[in-house]
Amino acid sequence: MLEPGCGSGRYLEAFARHGLEVVGIDSSAVMVELARRRLATSSLPGEVVLDDMTDFDLGRSFDGAVCAIGTIQHLGCEKLGRHLSCMARHLAEDAGYMIQLALYDPSGRQDVPSSSWEESRGDLSLRIDWTTEEVDLAAGRALQRSRIEIVAGPRQGHVVVEDHEMTAWTPETWGAAIAASPFTIGGVFDGAEEPPVALGEHATGGLIWYGLRREAPGY
Ligand SMILES: C[S@@+](CC[C@H](N)C(=O)[O-])C[C@H]1O[C@@H](n2cnc3c(N)ncnc32)[C@H](O)[C@@H]1O
């Protein structure tokens, strides 16, 4: 299982616990170190590579891949194309690639994606708010903002705010980008339900899973 944009490796850990052989890629050295440490701490096998998900060559192929929680929005149209070409070269013939992202409603009627949650570890508690501040669908851009507040523990009250320039995909632009790639959309699922609910390709709103299939072997 290959995970591009694996971050601190929480999915790698979960998959490895289920007995899968996992490889993660991330372009952040800090994240790669965290992911490696996470696997090592749990004595789980797996590899984490410091690399760019739009341009990598691992010299091997995988039976499946996953890219979670809107990580793909870090890539613009051209970089997405390069990423999907790379992925096609790294996936076995019948392998699937699951991508989770939130599409924007082109009518502007639906709420833009945002979420808030809390995390605790030891005596440290954080509150995280992830909001969409501006959307320009014509330009395909969204300005997202993360606000992390330390609500308990050392440095209580400290707040870190960061802005993230992301790509705003609509069902139309996302569908066109996949159609121009070596993949087709095999299924669209709501990840919140068990078993997942099958959605139409034009679903918008919260995070949903796109199951991509390689269009033709050896693309
Ligand atoms: C939203 S985080 C998701 C992390 C992980 N999938 C998770 O769910 O915990 C996105 C990750 O993508 C990484 N990333 C962004 N652009 C990248 C690129 N071009 N190549 C590799 N990693 C990238 C970031 O460093 C970050 O760790």
The Å distance, Cα 156 to ligand 1 centre, comes to 27
Q: Nearest to residue 80, comparing CAs of 112, 50, 52, 113?
A: 52
Contact partners, residue 211, CB within 8 Å, separation at least 6 = 96, 97, 98, 185, 186, 187, 188, 189
Q: What is the pLDDT of residues 138-180, one digit of tens each?
A: 999 999 999 999 999 999 999 999 999 999 999 999 999 999 9
pTM of this structure: 0.92
Contact 8, 29 (CB under 8 A): no
First to last CA, the chain: 20
Q: What is the pLDDT of residues 72-110, one digit of tens each?
A: 999 999 999 999 999 999 999 889 999 999 888 888 776
Atom of ligand 1 nearest to the CA of 70: 1
Residues having CB closer than 6 A to ligand 1 are 5-8, 10-11, 25-28, 31, 52-54, 68-69, 71, 74
Going by alpha carbons, the residue nearest to atom 4 of ligand 1 is 7
